[in-house]
Structure formats: C-alpha cells, structure tokens
Amino acid sequence: MLVSDFDYYLPDESIAKHPPKVRGSTRLLVLNRQSGAISDSYYTQLPDLLSPGDLVILNDTRVMRARLFTSLPDGRPRELVVLEKHKSDLNTVMYRGKLHAGDTLTVNGTPDQITIQELLGNGTATVSSNRPLIDIVEEHGQVPLPPYLHRDATPEDIERYQTVWAKQLGSAAAPTASLNMTDGTIAKLQSKGVKIAYLTLHVGLGTFLPIRSDKVEDHHMHSEWFYIPPATIDLIQSTKQAGHRVVAVGTTVTRTLEFWAQSGQTSGEDNIFIYPGFQFQVVDALLTNFHAPKSTVLMLAAAFAGWQHLKPAYEHAIASGYQLLSYGDSMLIC
C-alpha cells in the first residue's frame, strides 16, 4: 500500500487559517461508512445525529505553550518546541538551527536556561533546565500552531487552540477534532441521554513528522502517553452490552481506544498505526476534522470509512466550500 494512494487536491483557499468567529458555528459533513452517502449539516446539529445511550468520548489533554524562542551565548536565535509529556518529566524538544550537546540556551528576555543533553536525530534532543521545563513553557512559551498556518500565534489562539474542557497539561498539539465542541453542545447531548466520558492522550511528535517511506506499512508511529480512567472503561463496556454506539471524538481518542482493545493496557505508551485493513473493535462512529493529504490521520479516517467513500466526501467538501484542517469544519463518520 503506497502513501501516494492517500492523496487529494487541497486548494490553499480551502485551508482554515483562523478559528471560526464563534466556536462550534462550523459545518458538519455526515458520511455513512456503509453506503458512502453524504449529507451536509452543522456542528450544532450533532445531538440530532446521535441516539440516547450512545457514548461520546473526549480527550482531556491540555496543550502546552510549547514554542520557545531562545538564543545561544553569542546571540544566535534557536527556536524550540517542547514535545509532549510522557510519564516522566518533560525533557525532549524539537529544534531549528544547528545545536550540539552541551549548548546552553537562554530563553529570550528571562534568566531561564535550557541545556542540550543529547541529540536524538530528526531535529530532536533531550534537554535539562535550571527549573522545571513545564513552568518555563507555561510562563514564556507561545501556542505551537500547526506549521502549515505560516503565522505566529495571536491572543485568540491561546483560547481557541484548546478544547473547552482541557485539563491534563502535556500536549504539543491540540486534539483538533474537539476544537468545535462547546459546553452547550455537550449539555444538549447529555439532555438527550448521550453519555460523555474522557480519556487522556498527550499529542506529540507524530503530529509533526511526515511519512518518509513510500510504503504505508514501512512507517512507524511515535509513541504518545495515554490514560483511560476505570469509569470510562466501565461506560464503554456497558454501552457495548446495551447495543449502543461508542463515538470517538478525534483520531487521538480512536487510537487510544483501539490500542487498549489490542493490548489490554489502560495507560502507558501508545504507538498504534491505523490504516486501511485495520479491524476496529471499540469505535462505532468517528467525529473528526478534515486531514492533510498523505497524513497518518487521513489514513486512520480512510480505515474507518473506506478510502472509496472518504475521498469523494473530501472532494464534495472542497467543492462545497468547507474549510479544512485544524481550525476548519468537521465530519461525522457513522
């Protein structure tokens, strides 16, 4: 299976460059994964598309202000992105520019210093710091927007590149499928009898790295730390037993649930790579955003919907003026 098989034409004008003026005021494409039937809706109508007894699962990770601007002793600038939290303390960064083990970087305009410990390859390194790195990040960092936006974060992004329920600090990127979800939509779902549960997966390096192999099967996913609470496990099992649907909000939730189904682990390192041919054991419906061509997350959606259904849905969305990628519109595959 070739990476190039999962390509489509994405015009620049179809990429959402900023969040919608009002969170949740976005469009929602509904795709039937069995027939390929497509219908156009709005995110606010999500409660009408789910049934009492269904279980919606959300990722409660919180995005760090992971982008740091630093300088070497001679003043040369170096940009760092602090990568996701694992079970241990933060100690890994991506960097731009040449660095060596032992280099000491000053966080611009502050007394804080970061020392390069070991270069790991692919522009990553382990580091130490004069005080907890998480504190430095939250006090002096910027929101790590996706590189394709080609802009610095604004005060608006501090709020909007974060879910409304974000709790567990540790992600280097947002679980973007959830950015359109609001407290109001959650309340309407619950009033209809739809259950809500949470898990944690800290979004990390895999979000930034392109697939460098020609064959899909040759790609290896980077590990990300996850935790599924016992209460969420109980709700999944009771929902399944009652014949209702488990609705994953986003690819991060999907990977976490399906890794648990395969491994039996409820916490630890998740490196599952889902692409067409994968057999889903937990997820019955997927609420997601529109993904970049030839990306691992697009392949996951293709595995769930079937590429023969997903590609026409993307072509319909683009022709119909949908906005794609992190700040854009959403898709419900059911």
Interval 12-41: pLDDT, tens:
999 999 999 999 999 999 999 999 999 999
245 within a domain of the structure (yes/no): yes
231 and 299 housed in the same domain: yes
> So what's the pLDDT on residue 89?
73
209 within a domain of the structure (yes/no): yes
Percentage of the chain surpassing pLDDT 70? 99
102 within a domain of the structure (yes/no): yes
**Residue 128: which H helix or E strand, with range?**
strand 124-129
213 and 134 housed in the same domain: no
147 within a domain of the structure (yes/no): no
83 and 52 housed in the same domain: no
> So what's the pLDDT on residue 3?
93
> So what's the pLDDT on residue 108?
87
307 within a domain of the structure (yes/no): yes
In this structure, what CATH number is given to the domain that contains residue 278?
A: 3.40.1780.10
284 and 325 housed in the same domain: yes
CA distances, 137 to each of 64, 70, 82, 169, 298 (Å)? 7, 12, 8, 11, 30
> So what's the pLDDT on residue 90?
80
The answer on pLDDT for 207 being more than 80 is no
Quote the number of domains for the chain: 2
The pTM of this model reads: 0.94
49 and 10 housed in the same domain: yes
**36-45, 119-128, 233-242, 309-318: which has the minimum mean pLDDT?**
119-128
Neighbouring residues of 245: CB distance < 8 A, sequence distance ≥ 6 = 50, 51, 54, 55, 239, 284, 285, 334
* Mean pLDDT, residues 139-162: 93
The parent domain of residue 222 ranges over: 3-63+157-333
The answer on pLDDT for 211 being more than 90 is no
**200-204, 211-215, 234-238: which has the minimum mean pLDDT?**
211-215
DSSP conformation class of 223: P
The answer on pLDDT for 215 being more than 80 is yes
> So what's the pLDDT on residue 222?
84
40 and 170 housed in the same domain: yes
267 and 326 housed in the same domain: yes
How far apart (Å, rounded) are the C-alpha atoms in residues 224 and 83? 10
The answer on pLDDT for 109 being more than 90 is no
163 and 242 housed in the same domain: yes
126 and 256 housed in the same domain: no
For 30-53, letters b (16+ CB in 10 Å) and e give: bbebeeeebeeeebbebbebbeee
* Mean pLDDT, residues 130-154: 92
108 and 256 housed in the same domain: no
151 within a domain of the structure (yes/no): no
Residue reference for tokens 């648990």: 260
The answer on pLDDT for 209 being more than 80 is no
162 and 75 housed in the same domain: no
